[in-house]
């Protein structure tokens, strides 16, 4: 039997290498679901010739242990059996993940994936996608991934797209600033005496300009990815916050400045900062309310569940407590009961945060000393009006 008959004539983009088909059955089915341009090859004596003829772009090594996978890959490279540009992925068991990580750290393999005893399918498909998009238009393969996760929440998908669009705008702005700096550099160079400008600009770039740009890019990227990740995790983001995210960065900063300026008199009226305990498990909504209140002079402490709030009220006297109805570990109603019975905050005003999903619970909570409530969503002005009324100020 000739080699051409032994293996398929077509050249699959993705090739999975294994000693036994049963070892990688689940992985093979998963990748086949992602792309038709795939084949699983059982490694035998003819493996080197077979792989060379198939000429895959993405290779997944899933031999019986990491050492055998490394040896096979070394042979393929040493004997020049692979196309020059390829993407290599090392599949391993959990106990060998440290070695696999080291292989990627040393740039022997492009990526690794733990598939024994369990594997996370979306992570594997993302790794394969990363490899494939280096050789073709990424839209060719992203459609198949979208189909796999088509049951995702529609609102959440919209939020992800908004966040990614926002990230693109910010990174474009960073690149624009870099170009402006480079232009300024060129203008300065043209005015310097010959022989002096190169050394001077090199020193300026190294000691001042480049570190500032790197710090700016790093800071914005870190905060932005935090925003995108937060959007992915938040299933119940209110429409007001969504509208704010769609506004340009400069516009949102302008709004923030206007709100701060319009409430400056609160700073003048308060000799000492009044303290507010904010109890809210949704970190995006918690940060938004915290910003609104801290911008007009209130000192904010934040916790994300009822038990944490109880620990705080035992130690600290607050001027106001703003608390969500539905909290992990201990809900808002029982937390309020505890506040009214023990500790330093028996008479401290309590304001509820609620989407008004359970009017009976709000009514029951009011019987235990509720001093007001903030509906989700509410505007900044509405939040400040309720808080200031409860704490003793009048807008």
**What pLDDT is stored for residue 188 in this prediction?**
62
* CATH number of domain containing 300: 3.40.50.2300
Q: pTM value?
A: 0.41
* 364-372 contacts, C-beta under 8 A, 24 or more apart: 364/333, 365/325, 365/332, 365/333, 365/336, 368/333, 368/336, 368/337, 368/340, 369/336, 369/339, 369/340, 370/336
**What pLDDT is stored for residue 276 in this prediction?**
94
Q: Which is more confident, 163 or 13?
A: 13
Average pLDDT of the chain, as a whole number: 75
Q: Are residues 9 and 143 in the same domain?
A: yes
Instruction: Report the b/e string of 199-210 with b at 16+ CB within 10 A.
Output: eebeeeeeeebe
Q: List, in sequence order, the alpha helices (H) in 192-295.
A: 197-204, 210-233, 239-246, 249-262, 264-269, 283-294
Count the neighbouring beta carbons within 10 Å of the beta carbon of residue 359: 9
Taking CA atoms, 387 is separated from 239, 323, 349, 374, in Å, by 21, 12, 10, 9
Residue 174 lies in a domain: yes
Q: Which domain holds residue 371?
A: 263-391
Total structural domains in the chain? 3
**What pLDDT is stored for residue 359 in this prediction?**
64
Residue 349 lies in a domain: yes
Percentage helix, strand, coil, to 5, in the chain? 60, 15, 30
Q: Positive or negative, the Cα torsion across 305, 306, 311, 313? A: positive
- Mean pLDDT calculated for residue range 158-183: 69
pLDDT in tens, 100-121: 999 998 889 999 999 988 778 7
pLDDT in tens, 221-259: 665 665 655 555 554 444 454 455 445 544 445 544 544
Q: Are residues 172 and 280 in the same domain?
A: no
Encoding tokens for residue 273? Answer: 């900062």
> Looking at the predicted structure, is the pLDDT value of residue 195 above 70?
no
pLDDT band at 354 (very low <50, low <70, confident <90, very high): confident
Residue 248 lies in a domain: no
The phi, psi pair for 245, rounded to 5°, reads -65, -30
Q: Are residues 48 and 140 in the same domain?
A: yes
- Chosen domain end from 148, 173, 200: 148
Q: What is the CA radius of gyration of the chain?
A: 30
Residue 323 lies in a domain: yes
**What pLDDT is stored for residue 19 in this prediction?**
93
- Chosen domain end from 121, 148, 175: 148
Cβ-based neighbours of 31, under 8 Å, separated by 6 or more: 14, 16, 38, 60, 124, 125, 128
| Half-sphere exposure in the Cβ direction for 57 (13 Å, CA) | 15
- Chosen domain end from 98, 130, 148: 148
Count the neighbouring beta carbons within 10 Å of the beta carbon of residue 327: 23
Q: Are residues 274 and 342 in the same domain?
A: yes
Residue 256 lies in a domain: no
- What order do you get walking across the sheet with 370-375 strand by strand? 299-303, 275-279, 320-324, 350-354, 370-375
Give the DSSP per-residue string, 20-78. -GGGGHHHHHHHHHH-SSEEEEE--TTHHHHHHHH--SEEEEE-SSHHHHHHHHHHHHH
Classify 126 as helix, strand or coil: helix
pLDDT in tens, 342-351: 777 888 999 9
Ranked by mean pLDDT, the top range of 35-49, 199-213, 247-261 is 35-49
Q: Are residues 173 and 291 in the same domain?
A: no
**What pLDDT is stored for residue 5 in this prediction?**
39
Q: Are residues 282 and 332 in the same domain?
A: yes
Question: 74: exposed, middle or buried (C-beta count within 10 Å: 0-12, 13-18, 19+)?
Answer: exposed
């Amino acid at each position: 039997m000739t080699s051409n008959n032994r293996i398929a004539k077509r050249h699959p983009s993705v090739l999975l290498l294994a000693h036994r088909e049963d070892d990688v059955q689940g992985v093979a089915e998963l990748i086949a679901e992602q792309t038709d341009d795939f084949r699983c090859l059982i490694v035998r004596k003819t493996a080197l010739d077979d792989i060379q003829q198939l000429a895959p772009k993405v290779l997944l090594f899933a031999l019986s242990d990491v050492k055998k996978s490394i040896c096979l890959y070394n042979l393929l490279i040493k004997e020049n059996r692979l196309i020059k540009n390829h993407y290599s992925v090392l599949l391993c068991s959990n106990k060998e993940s440290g070695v696999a990580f080291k292989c990627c750290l040393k740039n022997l393999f492009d990526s690794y994936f733990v598939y024994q005893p369990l594997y996370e399918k979306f992570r594997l498909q993302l790794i394969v996608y990363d490899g494939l998009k280096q050789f073709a238009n990424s839209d060719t393969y992203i459609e198949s991934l979208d189909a796999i996760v088509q049951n995702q929440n529609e609102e959440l998908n919209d939020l992800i797209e908004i966040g990614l669009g926002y990230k693109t705008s910010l990174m474009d702005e960073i690149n624009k600033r870099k170009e402006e700096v480079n232009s300024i550099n060129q203008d300065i160079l043209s005015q310097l005496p010959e022989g002096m400008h190169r050394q001077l600009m090199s020193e300026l770039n190294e000691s001042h300009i480049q570190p500032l740009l790197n710090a700016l890019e790093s800071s914005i990227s870190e905060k932005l990815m935090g925003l995108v990740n937060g959007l992915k995790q938040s299933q119940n983001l209110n429409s007001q916050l969504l509208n704010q995210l769609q506004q340009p960065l400069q516009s949102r900063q302008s709004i923030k400045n206007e709100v701060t300026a319009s409430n400056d008199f609160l700073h003048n009226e308060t000799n000492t900062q009044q303290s507010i305990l904010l109890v809210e498990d949704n970190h995006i909504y918690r940060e938004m309310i915290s910003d609104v209140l801290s911008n007009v002079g209130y000192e904010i402490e934040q916790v994300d569940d009822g038990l944490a709030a109880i620990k705080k009220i035992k130690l600290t006297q607050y001027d106001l407590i703003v608390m969500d109805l539905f909290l992990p570990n201990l809900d808002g109603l029982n937390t309020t009961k505890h506040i009214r019975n023990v500790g330093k905050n028996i008479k401290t005003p309590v304001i509820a945060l609620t989407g008004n999903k359970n009017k009976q619970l709000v009514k029951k909570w009011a019987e235990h000393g509720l001093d007001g409530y903030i509906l989700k969503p509410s505007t900044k002005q509405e939040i400040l009006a309720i808080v200031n009324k409860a704490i003793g100020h009048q807008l």
